[in-house]
Amino acid sequence: MSDKTTLVNVQLRGDKGAENYQVEIPKRELTLLDVFEAVSGQEWGCKLFETGEDGKLKAVAGTLVVLNNRMIQPWDVGTTAVQHDDQLRFVPVVAGG
């Protein structure tokens, strides 16, 4: 990591347990939307997103987005700041569960 990049730890939870990845983004001041764009470009992360009616990336339905133990609402993705070494988790949820 340099002073011009940010490293974000990403965890994907699924039926077979958790998969952990790291994404290095060449930018220091990030929002969660920036991280979504970086993760969506990865082979392991592209299945986590869809494009909303506004043209912006959003997590696919049935996915809970958690940043540092805080659930992030879809409308907060563009304004939520992400820092170096933050933990981002994508957790599948079942309706009514």
- The answer to whether 13 and 21 are in contact (CB under 8 A) is no
Domains of the chain, residue spans: 6-92
**Alpha carbons 9 and 38: distance in angstroms, whole number:** 12
- pLDDT tens column, 12-34: 998 888 999 999 999 888 999 99
**Residues forming a β-bridge with 92:** 63
In the prediction, which pLDDT does 14 show? Answer: 83
Give pTM, 2 decimals.
Answer: 0.88
**pLDDT of 2 above 90:** no
Q: What is the CATH number of domain 6-92?
A: 3.10.20.30
Sign of CA dihedral 53, 54, 57, 61: negative
